[in-house]
Structures are given as structure tokens and as C-alpha cells.
Chains A and B, each alone.
Chain A
Amino acid sequence: MSMTPSQGAAAVSATAGQAADGARRPAGGGTSGGPTSGSGTPARKRPRRFHFTPYLLITPAVAALLLALAYPVGWQFATSLKEYGLKQQFGQPAEFVGLDNYVTIITTNATWMVLVRSVLFCLINAFLTVAIGTALATLMSAVPKGPRLVLQIALLLAWAMPVVAVMTVWNWLFDWFHGTINWALVEAGADGFWHHQWLAKPLSFYLVATIIIVWMSVPFVAFSIYAGLTQISGEVLEAAQIDGAGWWRRFTGIVMPMVRPVLAIVTLLQIIWDLRVFSQIRMLQDRGGLPSETDLLGTYIYREGVGSSHFGMAAAMSVFVLLITVIASSPYVRSLLKEDQA
């Protein structure tokens, strides 16, 4: 009974893992990746000889993906090697230009600025979303049913809002003339916010975008992590507390390791999603701000493609972004796969 808090935490966390595995739940297996993994057991038993079944099972999904994506993605690769503008779209032959489009992209300063901005924006948003989501999930698990329900229903409602509706409401809340946020700030004594223009300066524009995106994305993260938290046994935490572990210790020592798999996948998804953010930025740009200072990858590609009718260039840009995303996320994906390994 004289364990240091950290030892105690480690010990209980291990027992919790075994316990979960005893119930044949995947939770413990996911973290340890050991031979007791829930997903591992059946998978190892199965392969006696060559099976047609799995191929049959993935056929519909693969077919759907091929049907919807093969041609457009292929078109994109092909077009990225051509000079393809409005003229070509209206029937003139498209000239093959090799890697010219890619060279132009790589040598254009704007591309790198947009890329850097996008990566920063994505990391900040993903971090905030996951951090706030985790905090709210923890909060949910710490409070009695009543307050928990209030919080959960609020998050559900926010989650249910269609993007177009979300953007309309937020645009209005931040409106310079009649916006409720300016009004509230002025009422609170911040007179500088009378008719304040939130979208005019890039940083302020991104602040608004971040608030909106985090607001929209947190519910998914919070529910996923709350789900993970509910699988942690209360007794384990109690035990740690009796052993003298403070709440922070308990959080970092027990809770975090247990929800790590959820956290990992949720973070990866957030990063992917936030890097491709498009609708929100585009709809904010409709209201204000300068495109060249507020473009992120999504709107940049769209502006190149639809706006300027430089479809070859836009295609090359898309391929370039895909490559960057794949490269940037590959360490992450590798570690995910390792956990997936049976």
C-alpha cells in the first residue's frame, strides 16, 4: 500500500486492461496490442486456408469507391499534367505539359503561404477541438446526470446544425452592424467593439473561423472520448485516489492512457478534416475579408479551379495537397496500423 502514485496508477491501469479483456471488450486490447487483443483473437483463428469470403465482403464498398472516385481521381491526375482551362473545357484539345503545373505551384509564393497558413490553422483547430472535447468529456463523466444531460443535449443540438445554417447564424452573430456579439461586448463595457469588423483583418478572420469550426467539431470529439471514459472503471480511479493520487495525476496516469486509442483516431480525423476545411472559409469570405489573405487550401484550389478556370492547375494543386497530407500523416497512420496489427 506504499506505492507511489504513478506506480499505483500503472498497476491499476494494467488490471483495468485485463478486466476489460476479460469481458471481451476491445478497449484494453487496443492499447496494449498484445495477444489478448479482442480483435486479434478471432482474426488469428480464422485463416485456415484461402478464403473468398473477405473479398466478397469488401466488394460492395470497393465497387462503390471505384465507381464514384476512379474516374474523377484519375481525371484529376491526368488533368494535372495538362494545360486545361475554359477553352479546353469548351472542346479545344488540351496540351500535355508534363510537370509544368507542379513546377508553377512549387515556385509560387502564394502556394507556400497558403500551405503554411492551412497547416497552422489545421493544427490549432485540431488541437483546440480535441483539447476542449476531452475537457468536456471529462466534465461529463464528473458531474451528476442532470447537468450532464444539459451539456450533452447542447452538444447534440450544435452537432445537428447543417453547415449552411451554422454559417448563417454565426455570420449574423458576428455582423458588424447588428451583430449580437458586438452588442454584448459594448454592453459589457468594451466600447471599442461598437461596429467592430471581425472579418476585415486576417487574424481576426481566422479567430472567427476557429470559433465556428471548434464549436461545430467539439461535439463529435466530446462524445467519442466520453464513450471511452465510461469504460474506465470507477473503482480504479477510486483506488488511485485512496493511494493519494491527485486529480491531475489520476487524469494523466489513468484516464489518458485508457482513452489514448480513441484520442489517437479522433485527432487524426480532426487533422484530416481541418486541413480540408472549405465551406466555412468560403462562406465567411462571402461576407468579408480578403481572399488572398484568408485563403486556405480548400478555397485556394476552388478559386484556382472554378474562379479562374485554371482546371489543370487546380488538379495539380489537389494532387500536391493529397501528397502533402499523406506524407505528413504517415507516421501517425503507421502507429495506428501498428495498433491495428493483430
Chain B
Amino acid sequence: MKKASTLVALTIAAAMALTACGGGDKSSSDSSTKAEDTATATAQATDTAGDTATTDEQTPADDNANTGETTEIKLWLAGGDTNDDLRAYLKDTFEAQNPGYSLKIETIDWGDLVAKLTTSMPDPATTPDVVEVGNTQSPTFTNVGAFLDISDMYEELGGAKLLQSFVEVGEVDGKNYTLPYYFGSRYMFYRVDVWAEAGLEVPTTLDEFNERVVALTKANPKGVKDFSGFFIGGQDWRNGISWIFANGGELAKKEGDQWVSTLSDPNTIKGLEQLQTLQLEASMAPADAKDQSPWLYINDSDQVTEDSGDVTETSLAAGTIMAPGWAHWSIGDAVENEDGTVAREWNPEKFGVFVLPGNDGKPAPVFAGGSNIGISAASQHPEQAKNLMRIIFSAEFQQMMGGAGLGPANSDYVSSLGSDEFAQALIDSALNSKLTPAAPGWATVEAQGVLEEFFQKVSEGGDIAALAAEYDEIITPLLNG
């Protein structure tokens, strides 16, 4: 009796499975009924536009020809890097040039981007029209056909002047699917005063850098407990790979049509050995720290006086950090704004920047941050999406990007970044920057946190050759999807 009812319960579940099988096939139909899909899309659009619009019935398929409504074009931007001015410009310009269409810009947090793209991009009813995607995530999506082939626009949007390493990660079989949106790159922020007190000068080669940050750690001129001459988190592979690249190493390469992980390559190993030394002798960062906010540790031991008169101290912990250029907004002396918030004011007597030097006189190749942008293959309004792309790659918008501190995709407009030390460092470091492999499974490697793991184990003093062999085994199958 008891067993029987257990069975019944499980059968209910099984029945659910069977009914759903039928339903599943229906839902994955490849939009043979396009009109219907468009209708849903419009319904969706109106539903989001009107706040309380609870239209149960689908709007008729004939779009907005005879009503005064506009059709919405959706642009997804990742994170908050594209500032409000840039967004306003895109919206105003697009709507002025495309009567009858409106532009809706949505922000997707970086951490949520892959999941959101996975659920929303395949379907015409839910897909955004134009999508920003992390440069390292691009191959994963272009390889499965998520993006529209825009090879015909390539020349028009900038052609060879576009940042080629980014163009490559947006290419499949010689066709362009995504193009560079902006680049950023990483350089060094250091404590001018601390380095000077230790009697050290800014390094001009990688070897000098490696030696001096260790010397700085030992000197510890300010007597800070657990002082890091160079602060780099154990899991921070995005900064750490610079040492691999600078020694001529690679993370992976393509052999025939298969990607192979190359952590065991002698050059890669050499870079990892240098990094391990830095981790052990110059950095007191946690073994499980990622590249999040290292600038916290370079700011001074300020005395902050509260309204109450209480004096509190914040602590200095590092002499040098490596961070994306915009970190400079978070570095400096603490000053209190009128509204009571505390901001950082750059003080050139205390803080400086330099580009990680290579051993060949050029800047070391660092990880090229940034993103790509493309049109969803499922977009119902490819023409308007293309118009939007034209605006994004226009001279004016490219220069606005530079003005906002984002490296413009088109090399003609790099000068718009300005000429201060940050712009100079950004341009210099970007010149020689490198991307992660354009393998279809790269996003998986990142999502699984495999590199974080590998780098943490290296940073803890593990046997590099053995670890490299172990993780090559793990990474290679992931790379090929």
C-alpha cells in the first residue's frame, strides 16, 4: 500500500515529464511562423513600455503602421562603463535618425551577462537587438550563431582601423560577427613616496620590476605590517597572465582545428615562475583574492576626522598595484565632498603610474580588457540595429568614448583619450596588449573558475610544472566547447 502510493507520486513526476516532452518540441520551433513571433515581440514591447499595461491579448501583427506608437530597439550594455552622457547621445541620435523607432538601453551586470544572453538571445521575442559582450566571451557566442553576420558593414564601420585583436575574437571563418566596442588595459599604480623612501626608481624592464618590488617589500619604509611591495591576489589571473605574455608564453593555441592549452609551454612556465616569486616574496594578498579593487590597499593611512571629532585611521598595505585605468578615480588622498561622501583626490606627490615594462624595451603585453558589440541573429529589426551600429562607430561617438576614458575601437580616435598620464599609460599599455584565446569554450574556462584555481595553486608555491600539466588536461577539453 505504502509502496504503491510512493509509486503514484513518482508517476506524477514522470507524467509531467511526458506531457512536457510534447510541449518542448513545440516551443523550440525555429520560428516558422514569423508573423506570430513579431506579434509577441510587439506585445512584449508594449507591455514593458506601459507600466500597468496588462494586455491579455496579443496586439495584431501589423506592427505600428497605423497607430502612433513606436517600435522599440533594445540595446544591452554590460555594466556601468558606458556613462549616462554616452547613453543619452545614443538614444537621442538614434531616435532622431530613425523616426518611428525608439531606443531602449538596458544595463546587464557583468556577472549576469552570460546567463542573460543564454536565455534571451535565441528567441526573436526576447532578444535584444544590439548586444555588448565581453571580448573574452565573444567567441563562445559567435561560434554558436548568436550574432548576425555583419561582414558587409565591416569596411563602413572602420575596417582595418578597428582594434584588430578584438576584431579577431568576433570572427568565425573569416566573417565578422562582433566588432570592438571599447578597450581598456591595465597598468601600474605606485606610491611615489614609498618607492623614493626605499631608494628605488621606476623600473624600465620586467626583470627590474620583479627585483625592485621584492626589494621594496623588504625595505618597507613606512613600517606597515604585512606590507606588499606589489599587491597581486593569488587568483588574479587577469593581471597575472601579463608575466606569461611578457615571456612569450600563451594560454592556449590552435593546432589544426583543435584548441590546446599550453600552460606547460616553456615560456609560459618561465612567466609563471616569475609570478610565483612575486606572489611569495612581494605580495601579501590573500591566496584567494581576485582582481577586485586592489586600490583599497594603496591609499594612505589617512586620518579621517568625523563630524563628531573622532579620528580614525585607514591603512596602507601596498606600494604597487596593477589595475585598469579607471582605478585612478579611487586612488588618492581622501577628501570629503559637500554631501558628506568621501572621494579620492589624486596627489602626484604620493601617487604615480607606469606601464609594466617588457624585457625588449617595449611595454609588456598585458591583458586587453574591453568588450565587443554585435547584432543579435534573432533581431527582428536588423536594419535599425545596423543604423545603431553606424552611430556607435561614428567619429563623434568614438571621440565621446575616448573623452570618457574608454579606449575607442577605431585607432583614428585614440587621441580623444587626452594626453594626461593616465591616457598615456592606457595607450602605451594597450599598444602591446593581448587577448585571451578565441576558443569557443573560453567562456566555460572562465565560468568554471579553472584559471583562478590554477593561479591560486601557483601563488601558494605549488610545483609549477606539475600543476601546468594537470591543468592543461583540464582546460583542453573545455576549450573546444
Touch A–B, Cβ below 8 Å: yes
- Give me the interface of A with B, judged by CB distance under 8 Å: 66, 69-78, 85-87, 89-92, 176-177, 194-195, 197, 199-200, 285-286, 288-292, 303, 306-309, 326, 330, 334, 337
The digit string for B273-293, where 1 denotes a CB below 8 A from any CB of A, is 000000000001011111000
Q: A289 and B140 in contact (CB under 8 A), knowing A71-B23, A177-B296?
A: no
Contact between chains at B444 and A77 (CB < 8 Å): no
B452 at the interface (CB under 8 A from A): yes
Contacts of B348 in A (CB 8 A): none
B115 at the interface (CB under 8 A from A): yes
* Shortest beta-carbon contacts, A-B, top 8: A74-B20, A307-B447, A77-B17, A288-B288, A197-B286, A291-B449, A74-B17, A200-B288
Q: SS class of chain A's interface: helix, strand, loop or mixed? A: helix
B201 at the interface (CB under 8 A from A): no
Query: How near does chain A come to B96, taking the closest CB pair, in angstroms?
Result: 34
Query: How near does chain A come to B279, taking the closest CB pair, in angstroms?
Result: 13
Nearest chain A residue, comparing its CB with the CB of B233: A288
Contact between chains at B23 and A306 (CB < 8 Å): no
- Give me the interface of B with A, judged by CB distance under 8 Å: 2, 6, 10, 13-14, 16-21, 23-24, 28, 30, 111, 114-115, 118, 121-122, 140-141, 144-146, 225-226, 234-235, 284, 286-290, 296-297, 317, 377, 443-444, 447-450, 452-453, 456, 478, 481
Contact between chains at B118 and A306 (CB < 8 Å): yes
Contact between chains at A200 and B448 (CB < 8 Å): no
Complex CA–CA separation, A72 to B144 (angstroms): 24
Q: SS class of chain B's interface: helix, strand, loop or mixed? A: helix
Contact between chains at A308 and B444 (CB < 8 Å): yes
Query: How near does chain B come to A341, taking the closest CB pair, in angstroms?
Result: 9
Among A74, A75, A289, A326, max chain B CB count under 10 A is at A74
Q: 24 pairs across A/B with beta carbons < 8 Å?
A: A66-B16, A73-B13, A74-B21, A74-B23, A75-B20, A78-B24, A91-B145, A92-B145, A176-B286, A177-B317, A194-B226, A195-B284, A200-B288, A200-B456, A288-B288, A289-B288, A291-B448, A291-B449, A303-B448, A303-B449, A307-B444, A309-B118, A309-B444, A330-B6
Contact between chains at A78 and B21 (CB < 8 Å): yes
Contacts of B235 in A (CB 8 A): 288, 290
Complex CA–CA separation, A90 to B147 (angstroms): 10
Other A-B contacts than A288-B286, A292-B449, 12 sampled, CB-CB below 8 A, are A70-B20, A71-B19, A73-B17, A75-B24, A87-B144, A89-B122, A92-B144, A176-B286, A195-B284, A289-B288, A292-B450, A308-B444
Contact between chains at B16 and A70 (CB < 8 Å): yes
Contact between chains at A69 and B447 (CB < 8 Å): no
Contact between chains at B448 and A90 (CB < 8 Å): no
Contact between chains at A290 and B226 (CB < 8 Å): no
